[in-house]
Amino acid sequence: MVHDSLPRGRHHLSREQVVASQRERMIRGLADAMAEKGYIGTPVADIIQRAGVSRETFYQQFDSKLECFLAAFDATEAQLLAVLADVVEKTADLPPSERYERVLGTYLDLVLAEPALARLVIVEVYAAGPVAMRRREALQRRVADLFFDQLDVRDETSRFAAAVITAGIANLVSTPLVEGDEEAVRALRAPMADLVDRLLRVTRGGSWRPSAEDRSPD
């Protein structure tokens, strides 16, 4: 998939708009190429071909493929956190477990809507090296905080459990994301929401009881 380039001939775009358009196309080109070939197997030549820019243009904005990758990661992170924060704001009056399920559902919907960018952040980041991995770790903490601040989870043990659950979601998404199995991604919503509901019961003095669906018939 090659993204549309700027109009040929004279146009009325400012230099800043041209640069922004080129940058956006290179980021998208990188994500699409890596969705097919992975980080290691994607050369700069594939990125610029998909973006419709020259090699000179690429290196005017990025020193390396890694720098382009990190720019794509940062742009995806900003979009993800902005969308999730909006959901949090709009569901503030709902019960905690329902707020969590809405945020989780939105996260999974974003993965399905932008699989190439999701794969970049969740899967290809491992191949991009330690700098990218530190970005992923920081993002995971931010998402975990955003998820679980809605549940009034405050003590250290519960917050550690929350971080483990958030890491588990990303891990469980990885394989179906790579395989293009959309139904498997969607299917994560109900069991993960149920797991968090049980966590809430425990933190509020309840017990880790199986749900009705889990209980064996008498």
In which domain, by residue range, is 115 found? 66-203
Buried b (16+ CB within 10 A) or exposed e, 92-102: eeeebbebbbb
What is the C-alpha separation between 141 and 153, in angstroms, rounded?
14
Q: Which residues contact 215 (CB under 8 A, 6 or more apart)?
A: none
Collapsed DSSP state (helix, strand, coil) of residue 41 = coil
Co-location of 31 and 132 in the same domain: no
> Domain with 20 in it: what CATH number?
1.10.10
Co-location of 185 and 87 in the same domain: yes
The reported pLDDT for the residue numbered 95 is 84
The reported pLDDT for the residue numbered 164 is 83
Domains: count for the chain: 2
Co-location of 22 and 111 in the same domain: no
Co-location of 57 and 75 in the same domain: no
Q: List the chain pLDDT tens, one digit each, 218 residues.
A: 334 454 455 557 788 988 999 999 999 999 999 999 999 999 999 999 999 999 999 999 999 999 999 999 999 999 999 999 999 889 888 888 888 889 999 999 999 999 999 999 999 999 999 999 999 999 988 888 887 776 666 667 767 777 788 888 999 999 999 999 999 999 999 998 888 777 767 665 544 444 444 444 44
Co-location of 55 and 71 in the same domain: no
Q: Which of 41, 189, 34, 38 is nearest to 111 (CA)?
A: 189
> Domain with 151 in it: what CATH number?
1.10.357.10
Co-location of 81 and 163 in the same domain: yes
pLDDT tens digit sequence for 138-157 = 998 888 888 777 666 666 77
Query: Residue 188 domain-assigned?
Result: yes
Which helix (H) or strand (E) is 159 found in, with range? helix 156-179
Strand ranges for the chain from DSSP E: none
Helical residues (DSSP H) of 130-155, grouped into ranges: 130-149
